[in-house]
A and B are shown apart, each in its own frame.
Chain A
Amino acid sequence: MIYRFLDGLGRYFLFLGEVFHKPEHGREYLKSFFRELELLGFSSIALVSFISVFMGAVLTIQTAINLDDPFVPDSYIAIAVREGIVLEFAPTIVSLILAGKVGSNIASTLGTMRVTEQMDALRVMGINPASYLVLPKLFACLLFNPILIVFSMALGLVGGYYAGDFLNLVNTEVFLSGYFMEFNPFYIVYSLTKATVFAFIIATVSAYFGYNVEGGAVEVGKASTKSVVAMSFTIILFNYILTDLLLQ
């Protein structure tokens, strides 16, 4: 078990070595990058919006109910909601959801290309499939995931505000002023650092599982599932490590 884990880890780093080859045909990589941006980035906007708005709403409701005390001003509720969204919900939860959507997409796309010999076709042409297929996906994720996370923060705050307003849980003016009180800008840095690291994990771990599929369609499905488990595990682990390093 431990042996298998270390073996896999070693292979993962060898795989990264193959991925980080200097692209010789920059223009082709760039073309592919824009395709991936569309495929992996823009297509996630709707999902992330939906999740963020409702996440913010639920956070406000829960916090308002728990802090239902005349001596706690509604601005404090807003601060709690804001920190929850910025520090944890937007970067971590949204990344976990992207691992399920984007990551499994990468794993199954690459897995299918492997079992249908499309990877061999690239190699016959003299194109390094690891680098040509993975680098554009990786950069699309590195660029777009942080943008999605910022977007998620904004929508989460909006959702939180409207839930408070709509359900009459808070005094909206006081609540809104709370969003702007005692804000530590470093939290944004912390959050975006997490988002970037998670994006790297999502793109490379899923690619690793997809790239190394052997067999047929059934194995592609299995690899996709395994990759989601591995990504979730790694994200949660790095969430802890980064929080320990950055916030202490």
Chain B
Amino acid sequence: MIQVRGIHKSFGEQHVLRGIDVDFHEGQCNLIIGLSGSGKTVLLKSVLGLHSVDQGTISFDGRVLGDMGKKEVKVLRQEMGMVFQGSALFNSLTIAENVRLPLDFFGDMTEAEKDERVRFCLERVRIDPESFSKTPAELSGGMQKRVAIARAIVLNPKYLFCDEPNSGLDPETAIVIDQLIHEITHEFGMTTVINTHDMNSVLEIGDHVILMEKGVKAWEGTMEEVMDSDDSAVVEYVFRSNLFKKLRAALKKA
């Protein structure tokens, strides 16, 4: 479990995160939703330690980020995987080399074991072996996302972070990616945190949903609760679109 307590983050004058308390649960997909600019990415990067926070604490199963020595941070880093919004694959390396890089740096495996692990992860995200030696530029956006997921899980992380994993993908591929992340999370008991705009993801995989609004947590609950909630923040965010308004009306009738 990741516990976030009272974090604040400003960039110059701009106060982006204004005191956030939230728990991300183990073995669940924790979804952060909210309007563009509400601070989702900044929250995610703060939890990852890519931004230093001005105030507050973040702890990973009791280990507090910031109180740790260099060695402990290093151990923690190897327990984290991240899927970036634009995939962030290294374009000078092949697909297999991308996935292999964390193993080369941190795995104490033989070459054969590394090959095996790379193959396992890439096959797990359904990349066929013909693509292993291609470069990222030769793959479609959806495939790049899948490779990014493979790279993120190659060290068997406890914590998986995804920044808008299905942005820029067609609805069908988006569902495939969502389900892939969901399966992996449950299969390996990871604590997964996902930023998303996509209401469809919320209904597909939202084990735990957190709604952000202007740098604060406005609401949290499960995907079932999202549909029933009368909370004004949820109603305002989720039921802006006519589709969801009608859906909700129909549900209430039934």
Contact = CB atoms under 8 A, between A and B. Distances in A.
Interface of A: 25, 27-28, 35, 109, 112-113, 116-118, 120-121, 123-127
Interface string B30-66: 0000000000000001001010000000000000000
A28 B86 CA distance: 25
A125 B80 CA distance: 8
B74 A124 contact: no
Nearest to B77: A126
A141 to B, nearest CB: 17
A123 B86 CA distance: 16
A125 B88 contact: no
Q: Interface of chain B, helix or strand or loop or mixed?
A: mixed
B88 A28 contact: no
B92 A121 contact: no
Contacts of A25: 104-105
Contact of B82 (A35, A112, A116, A124): A124
9 contacts: A25-B105, A118-B89, A118-B91, A120-B45, A120-B84, A121-B84, A124-B50, A124-B77, A124-B82
A152 to B, nearest CB: 27
Contacts of A123: 50
Contact of B86 (A116, A125, A127): A116
A35 B91 CA distance: 13
A125 B50 contact: no
Interface of B: 45, 48, 50, 73-74, 77-78, 80-82, 84-86, 88-92, 101-102, 104-106, 161
B147 to A, nearest CB: 12
A121 B88 contact: yes
Given A28-B105, A124-B48, A127-B105, A117 B84 contact: yes
Contacts of B73: 126
Contacts of A124: 48, 50, 77, 80-82, 161
Nearest to B163: A117
Contact of B104 (A28, A112, A126): A28
Contacts of A109: 92
Contacts of A121: 82, 84, 88, 90
A139 to B, nearest CB: 17
A27 B104 CA distance: 9
A80 B52 CA distance: 60
A126 B106 contact: yes
B242 to A, nearest CB: 34
